[in-house]
Structure 1
């Protein structure tokens, strides 16, 4: 209780700029909570391991099975969207370039989701520090202006009140900035790890589609052409 009372008194003595810092702190807490849930709860670093489950089907040329499985699991596994897009391109005989293009399109979109709003934490941390510094400057200006026209008996109390306001603004600005900057570093590191895992899983699938599915596709085309020629001859 004493801590809360002291904190409330310090906030009240910090001047106008304590309120903008409070707003910055609340916004940064909201971003931290949302990003922590998105990156640590909803996303897991298992996309490469998940992609390994498609190797056998791709090597056998079972594109329909690959597309069906990937589509059913893309809600919880981002790499599944890239697998489905690549398998669809391979099934339509699009070639390596089209397979890569379709998969890259999905991977770029998924990687962009990892960085949503995280960069604001760095900005908010810097703004909180600068706002606290601004509160310090305005507090010092107010105290010296008051002292210049005050009675000698009141100068000490007015000066101490202005310095108190300045120091409270500085302290609160740092209190708001430090968690935001620490959270930014942690969340950015997590996003990088998730992106690496996602891209590695997508690359594995692309390699299987490019180097394992191509020979099967060529064989299927030759077989289909041969069957069509035999049908024409028999007709």
Structure 2
């Protein structure tokens, strides 16, 4: 209870600039809470969606993966939707990678939205505290100029002590918001790194699947070509035998003539 009373007394003796600093702190705290909840939710949904998508991608069922991401609004779904859309139309890894990078350029600003305001409110609170102190000092020196010389020292020290409350409160708000801003930036960077990791993993899975499909197609073509060659060889052999049967050789004709002369 004594601590609470001390805080109230500290706030009341700080002057009029304590109220704008309090308003700035409230705005910064509101933005910080909204951003934190949004980023935590985004991180959770991204992890859960990737846990669902990874087995499907590993199995090569890209049509099912496309249907799944089309029904979800998480960052991972937006990222992979662009890549999977290109997967069925192109074969080059670079084209799919460019599509995912384009999607990342749309996702990152959404993650960083309003976070810079926390740092802005921190700077404003600090500057308001300094301004309040300067204004308090001006009032103190003005009052001391017309005061009794015997009371000038005590009056000046008391006025300066009150004026410093504004700077102290502004610094407390500014430091708090700066720490929160750093935490939000760290959380945002973690989400961006996870999206980049998902992008690389998905690209590798798509590339391996495309390579396997090309190998299978090449083997099928080779088998068809071999079967075609065998069929052509068999047809040529049967035609040769038929020609030999229809046109007997010269030796056979000579033998027949010799038998007739004998």
TM-score range, shorter chain: 0.7 to 0.9
1:233 aligns with none
- SS of the counterpart of 2:197? helix
Alpha-carbon distance in 2 for matches of 1:53, 1:142: 71
Alpha-carbon distance in 2 for matches of 1:140, 1:50: 63
1:96-124 Cα shifts (integer Å, max 9, x gaps):
34322322222222222221222222232
Instruction: Give 2:59's match in structure 1, choosing from 57, 64, 75.
Output: 57
Alpha-carbon distance in 1 for matches of 2:214, 2:177: 52
Q: Give the unaligned 5+ runs of structure 1.
A: 227-235
Query: Is the Cα contact below 8 Å between 1:135 and 1:166 reproduced in 2?
Result: yes
The normalised TM-score by structure 2 is 0.72
- The equivalences for 1:57-206 within 5 A come to 57-58=59-60, 62-72=61-71, 74-75=72-73, 77-93=74-90, 95-152=92-149, 154-156=151-153, 158-206=155-203
1:20-52 Cα shifts (integer Å, max 9, x gaps):
211210111101211111122442373765553
The normalised TM-score by structure 1 is 0.79
Alpha-carbon distance in 2 for matches of 1:15, 1:184: 28
Query: Is the Cα contact below 8 Å between 2:128 and 2:170 reproduced in 1?
Result: yes
1:22 aligns with 22
2:235 aligns with none
Q: Cα–Cα, structure 1 residues 53 and 111, in superposed 2: closer, same or farther, change >3 Å?
A: farther
RMSD of aligned alpha carbons: 2.8
- The equivalences for 1:204-215 within 5 A come to 204-213=201-210
1:194-219 Cα shifts (integer Å, max 9, x gaps):
11111100111122223432563794
Alpha-carbon distance in 1 for matches of 2:211, 2:80: 16
Q: Give the unaligned 5+ runs of structure 2.
A: 225-262
Alpha-carbon distance in 2 for matches of 1:7, 1:156: 26
2:37 aligns with 37
Alpha-carbon distance in 1 for matches of 2:52, 2:198: 8
Query: Is the Cα contact below 8 Å between 1:79 and 1:107 reproduced in 2?
Result: no
Query: Is the Cα contact below 8 Å between 2:122 and 2:177 reproduced in 1?
Result: yes
Max Rg structure:
2
